[in-house]
Every structure is written in structure tokens, then in C-alpha cells.
Structure 1
């Protein structure tokens, strides 16, 4: 093949490759997002316990007070899920190169309202009681709170205004009575008050974790106490369930506690196992959470009295991300 012919073949090959790449980009840009909904008949209309079925990866429903096996499936595929009011948030990863993750906002009929790309591995999700405020946390680096080698990104979305805060890290933080700045500040595990203005979250810095109270109106956060992670505000807004580090054993470092916000006194719950979860209140008396499952199951959902009495009871086998809807 003479040099002129070789050049022509090379130019043609480059143009074909470029055209294919451009076509892929255009196709990806205009591809309609897939709906997160399941089979169409599954909604959030019925009262009871909703959770992620770890065998299928889809959201399932189980009426409270019924046998553990009496569940209805067919909900959307999610890695983390939460719902309140008429709103749900579903965190899911979708295949691709590179893989993508999304926070998908759903209505009560599980129809997609909004989709936000998230830069990491889905980890925590919450919706305010009214359904207006949403938050989610993803791991940006690593995959466990049990090590120091992780970084999180926590977002807050106001559905009423449409305003999205992609990362909380720049919120003005007051720690020990003074304005605090540090490059290693990380936030995770937001929980909202009924007024859609106040919220609580975890902040970590310099190897310590703190419970902070945030204010949406003036966009500020104040540390309330140390060693409190993944807070969950009770329906009556008087107490916070949280996980507290009680051991340096990385296999079992935490225990569930409840904090009274009026007195700032805490007490442990009857669950003595290590809970790496953001607990969910079923009502003002009961806290639910996920633990590693038995018999090869990825996780099971348990419940325990919020006053520290009683004993844990198994709510749903092969279940995570529990939420109670009335």
C-alpha cells in the first residue's frame, strides 16, 4: 500500500471512530431516563412497613402486625430508600462506563418527579415529614464508617423551591462556641424537623464526630455534642436515636442510643449488637434498624423500644432501609 493510500485509510478510520463516539455522546445526552417505578401496581398508599428487599433489590411492603413473610413486592429498585408525606427518595446505581448513581425523587404513586446524579456510593437517605425536604449521603471514597479512609457528600433538596445544595461541606459551622474551619470536615445522616427548617446531622473532623443542629433559613450549623452518628429525629421532635461509638473494635464499634433534646441525657437501647445504620422511628415509642442477616441473608430489619426497655424483635427478614407509613 503506497503512502497516499495509507493516509486515506487512516483518515477514514479516524472519521469513523469520531463519528461513532459523537453518535454515542448524542445518544447518551438525549436518552430518556429510565423510570424508577416497579410494576405499576406498587404504591405507597397502604399503611405499614416499607423496606428494601435485599434478595430482589426492590422496595417491598409489609402491613405492621402481620406475619413476617406476608410482604408485597414489585416496588422500584433502590439501594437506599425513604419516604414521608407524599414523597419518596430512591438511591440507585445504574450500569454503564463509568457506573452512575442517582437520587430519584418519587411521588406517592412512585412516579419519577426528579432525578439527580450523585457522585458516589449510595449510603443514607431521608425525607422530612411534610415531604418537602430531602437529603442523601454518598460515599465518595471507601465504603465504611469503621475506618478513617472515607469521604462523604451530603446533599439537601428543597422540593418546593427546587433548590439543590449539592454538598453541605461549606455550611458555616460553630464548634465549641467558635466558628470552625478545617479541610477534613464531612457531613452525613441528615434528619429533618417538622418545620422543614431545622435539621440534625453528623459532622466529623480531626478524628471526632459531632451531632450538629442546622438551620436552613440562615444556613448555619452548631455542634451540640460529641460521639453521635446517623441521627434520626422522633416523630414528636423531642428525641434523637443515634449510633454511638463504644469500642475500638472495628467489627463491632457502635451501639444504638436515644438522646432527649430537652435534657441532653442519653440512654442505650436494648439492642446490644453493633448497628451500622441510620435508625428509623416506626412511631414515638419504637425504633427500627437493619443488622447483618441470618442464614446467609444480607440484612434483617429489627425493632426495639425507644425507652431502653424490652428486647429486640425481628420485623422483616432480608430487609433494609425500613420506613413506617400511616
Structure 2
């Protein structure tokens, strides 16, 4: 009797083990199927194929290079399209970037390196064939990057603490490197500040969002005492001079006369406080663009007349454009894309 009872228990145990194994196998297969479907190009996503992507000036037209956000084997890679056909098929480079910008045959790519316990990040200077020239470890989450028109200088901003500009509990670190001699200004907060015509010092200074005029002069955002300011930077004299209030993530027009930026507008929600504006540097006159949605990006000028920027989309972000003079209307340029730069 006891022997029969023991055999019954063993049989029940064996059946339970088999059932648990079947459930586990099913879960693994289901997860693998979901991953496989995710890694396939989704319906409606742009066509993306591997190929050569260059930062050299094209023989005809211009290229638009950006981080591809569409699910598939080329997600997060730098991809290129003809600038006049931005929604067309994409050529994927195989180079992964979280943030990217390029000018003058130089690219700056902010990358994540995934470790067993945590992610680390680095800023990678790329040549005109997207080959790594040099890299620098960075102290936090990448957020902004820019290259000077000549390609001689590259800048990047990371969050040292916090992960959003929306609140006040964050700290940034902004660096500039000269790719000719690798002279690195590791932290622009060490520059002398001239605020409202007087020297200024404070422990709460943050600098972010560099945009270059040339190989010495740049503009950026300076935050202190709960306010933001547009500053003009001078690399040779290591100075930052305030010019205008309530300016974040500036972007200088190709002719150097205007700055596009995001401005906090009173009365908007705390988590969506920004609208896209343009500032005339000669008159300090502000012009709101026709884009009425919240903008948390550093816009790119398509030319002297229009702006390109990212807004949330089905795959993470889409690129939109709007005239810089306050007229017209915003329109979508392409989907599943972020961190654009024009080449040529």
C-alpha cells in the first residue's frame, strides 16, 4: 500500500515538473516571438537598408543624417536620406548614437556602452566616413551635441544628475573639444561669467546647448538662481556674457543673425512649458513660431528660413519643420527620427 502511495506521489510530481517546463518553454518562445516581431520592420515604418553614409559634401544636393528610431535591425543607427526626399528609403551606417550632429566633415556621436551592472556613456568624434577619431568618457546621460561650421570644434552636454530640463533638480556638464589638437575644455562652468555687465559667480551655474558661430565664438544657455539666459561664449578669453533672458537650447542661423530656442511661456503646464521662438540678435526682438506644441529639443536650421526639430511620435520621435519668421504652419518631415544634421 505504501509502495503504491509513493509511486502515485512520484507520478504527480513528475506531471507537475513537466507542466511547469511546458509553461516555461511557452513563455520563452512567446518572448522570443515578440522580440523577433519587434526587430522586424513594422508596417508603415520607413524602409532602411545598410550602405555607406558619408559626412562629405555630396556631389549634388544635400543629405539629411539622423538617428533612425524605427524598430528593426537598424534602430538607433545613423541613417541618411536625400534632404529633398526626407521620407524616402534610408541608408543605415551601422554606427549607433543617442545624440548626433555634424558639420564640415566632422561628426559628434554620443553613445551608450551597456555594462553588466550599469550603462556608461562616451562622446565619439567621427571623421567624414563615420570612423572614430577619438572618444571621451562623459559623466552622465547625453542630451545635446553640436559641431562648428568648419568642423574644427565639437561640443556636447550631458545630465550629471537628473534626466530632464522640465524641473529644477538637475545638473549638466558641457564640454568643447578642438579636433585639430584635441584641446578639451571639459567644463564650461569654469569660464568667467559676465552677467548684466558685471562679473558673476554662483554655485548653482549650469551651462548647456552650445551652438557655434565660428571657431571661437559660440552661444549657449546659462542657468542660475532659477532663471535661464542666452550667453555668448569666447573660447580664447574663456568668458560667458549674458545677452537675453529665458532662452534654452539655442541654435544659431546659418547667417549668424538669429537664434532659435525654446522659451518657457507662463501659464503652460510644468511638464510642457516650452514654445519655439526666434531671437533677432541685432534688435533682441523675439518672434514666436507657428508651432504651438511643447518643444524639448535643440532645433536645426534647414536654411535661413526654416527650422527642423523633433516631437514625440509612434516610434519615439518624428521630425517637423516650421518657418522661422512666425508665419506658415508646422508640418511633419519624416517619422521615426531624431538628432538631425544637414550635410552639404
TM-score, L = length of structure 1: 0.85
Structure with higher Rg: it is: 2
- 1:42 to 2:57 alignment: no
Ranges of 4+ aligned residues in structure 1 off by more than 4 Å: none
Give the aligned partner of residue 142 of structure 1: 162
Give the aligned partner of residue 68 of structure 1: 87
Following superposition, the deviation at residue 72 of structure 1 comes to 1.8
Summarize deviations over 1:58-107 as a string: whole Å, max 9, x none: 11111122261432223410000000001000001111144210100001
Contact 2:64–2:86 (Cα < 8 Å) also in 1: no
Give the direction of change, closer, same or farther, for the CA distance of 1:173–1:67 in structure 2 (3 Å limit): closer
Contact 1:124–1:137 (Cα < 8 Å) also in 2: yes
Following superposition, the deviation at residue 161 of structure 1 comes to 2.5
Question: Map of 1:212-231 to 2, 5 A cutoff?
Answer: 212-231=231-250
Question: Map of 1:111-122 to 2, 5 A cutoff?
Answer: 111-122=131-142
Following superposition, the deviation at residue 309 of structure 1 comes to 1.1
- What is the alpha-carbon distance in structure 2 between the residues aligned to residue 131 and residue 67 of structure 1? 24
Contact 2:261–2:299 (Cα < 8 Å) also in 1: yes
Give the aligned partner of residue 198 of structure 1: 217
Contact 2:153–2:176 (Cα < 8 Å) also in 1: yes
Give the aligned partner of residue 232 of structure 1: 251
Give the aligned partner of residue 26 of structure 2: none
Summarize deviations over 1:99-136 as a string: whole Å, max 9, x none: 21010000111111110000100000000000001100
Give the aligned partner of residue 264 of structure 1: 284
Corresponding pairs, count: 286
Q: Mind listing any 5+ residue stretches in structure 2 that lack a counterpart?
A: 1-48
Report SS of the residue matched to 2:220: strand
Contact 2:220–2:249 (Cα < 8 Å) also in 1: yes
- 1:211 to 2:212 alignment: no
Give the aligned partner of residue 80 of structure 1: 99
- 1:152 to 2:172 alignment: yes
- What is the alpha-carbon distance in structure 2 between the residues aligned to residue 266 and residue 238 of structure 1? 13
Once superposed, what is the RMSD of the aligned Cα atoms? Answer: 1.5
- What is the alpha-carbon distance in structure 1 between the residues aligned to residue 79 and residue 252 of structure 2? 24
- 1:306 to 2:311 alignment: no
Summarize deviations over 1:41-62 as a string: whole Å, max 9, x none: 2222442211111130111111
Q: Mind listing any 5+ residue stretches in structure 1 that lack a counterpart?
A: 1-37
- What is the alpha-carbon distance in structure 2 between the residues aligned to residue 129 and residue 265 of structure 1? 25
Give the aligned partner of residue 4 of structure 2: none
Following superposition, the deviation at residue 314 of structure 1 comes to 1.0
- What is the alpha-carbon distance in structure 1 between the residues aligned to residue 180 and residue 94 of structure 2? 25
Give the aligned partner of residue 95 of structure 1: 114
Give the aligned partner of residue 34 of structure 1: none
